[in-house]
Amino acid sequence: MVRPLLLGIGLLAFMTTATQARVTLTTWNDGKSSLQSIWQVRFGYSYSTQYNSYQTYERNTQTPTWNLRPRISFMLNQYINDDLTVGGYVRFMHIFMSRHSRSMNYDYSTGTYSDVTYTATHGKNPIRADRGHFYLDSKTLGRLTVALSTGLYPTQQGAGDVRDFGTNTWFLSNQSRAITYAYLDTQDRLVRYDSPELSADIPLQVSVSYGDMRSNQTNDAGQIKRRYDTEVSGALIYNLPQYKGYVSLLAAQKHVYANYTTKYPTTGYQLMSKFSPIENLMVRAEVGLAKEETATVYNRYRGAGVDLDYRIGRFEPYGGILYMHTITNNKSSGLQQEKKAYEVYVGTTYDLATKVANAFNFMLFAEALHSYVRYEKNYAARLSDHVYTFGGGLLITW
């Protein structure tokens, strides 16, 4: 059971600090070509309280987390003629994370608490390129993007991935959407084509992409051979310039090898819209579904989400509601499991100062999130999960 009085909202403090600088390093071709760089450092602290409810006891976990994430990006734009531009983008990232969790169990029958368990986790990733691509952009023919990597996360560049539903949260993480299960987590290569609008009267665009990731598998002779997991995605976009938005239908499918000869598919779809019905209000909404097969189970995902933000002077409040329904069928036993996940979040930004020293902008933000998972069918003694997370911080941009 959940005891709201134990949330300790007044005791939770969160701060995220980010600094960002955008610099034009050089220009040529009368300013039509350029090399630019973006610098960003984000320092964050978050605190979450989680309750895991079982039939006979409840587990209570508090987790404060520190996070440091500097990034540096370079953008090259080379003017060829009035129709064609070529260029590239690369982003380097470093992450340091420190998390200290404390958890204890509460026994319903005895009304007693167990000893507290402490867990400390520290992570440090080396500086590496986590995004990178080259492109050719033609006003009449469209844009071709090629991403090459060594599995260093050039995801979020596929035709569906760059357009799927996103929230306004600045620091807190949200639940996955159904279509995201159909994306590869990492990729070696990706090619994407984005068409121009069909005509001035028909603002319809199409985008398609293909990506793959090496997967070393052992064949019948005991030899390790390279296979490739693949991802194909597409997007049909109808732009709504009068509403500063669009309506899109996204589709994605991945195939992942479980062994040398067998691979399993996951297919996902999302119908999404982003638009501004009135001045200063932006609305995003989506419905999606996915079907996943692994060596042992079939998973089905159905979800929906709404995200709103509204500008009021220096404030921009935002919020949203997310839902995900998951059904799992075990191949061998025929056992079916079912769970439903709900999430609500709210927040606001505040423009503290702009153009300080004719360069810097300061923005404060604060946000809160509550997620709830109900285990409805065949999860044994497991009943539900509640997670309460709060955040806030300062963004400095240039």
pLDDT tens digits for 375-387?
999 999 999 999 9
Mean pLDDT estimate for the chain: 90
pLDDT tens digit sequence for 177-186: 999 999 998 8
Tell me how crowded residue 315 is: count the other CB atoms within 10 A of its CB: 12
**What region, left, alpha or beta, does residue 146 occupy, with left being phi > 0 and alpha being psi -120 to 50 degrees?**
beta
Contact 272, 236 (CB under 8 A): no
Structural domains of the chain, count: 1
Which residue would you say has higher pLDDT here, 125 or 98? Answer: 98
**CATH number of 387's domain:** 2.40.160.10
Which residues lie closer than 8 Å to 133 by C-beta, 6 or more apart? 88, 89, 145, 146, 147, 148, 154, 157, 190
Burial of 369 (0-12, 13-18, 19+ CB in 10 A): buried
Q: Say if residues 133 and 146 touch (Cβ distance below 8 Å).
A: yes
Full residue range of the structural domain in which residue 147 is found? 4-397
Nearest to 32 by CA among 84, 74, 90: 84
pLDDT at 41: 80
pLDDT in tens, 10-25: 333 333 444 455 688 9
CA 153 – CA 373 distance, rounded (Å): 29
Pairing of strands 297-310, 382-397: unpaired
Residue keyed to tokens 């056992």: 335
Least confident of 122-126, 173-177, 209-213, 264-268: 122-126
Quote the pLDDT of residue 151.
61
Nearest Cα residue to 209 out of 272, 142, 294, 290? 142
pLDDT at 242: 94
What pTM was estimated for this model as a whole? 0.89
Residue 7 pLDDT grade (very low, low, confident, very high; cuts 50, 70, 90)? very low
Beta 15-28 vs 245-257: how paired, if at all?
unpaired
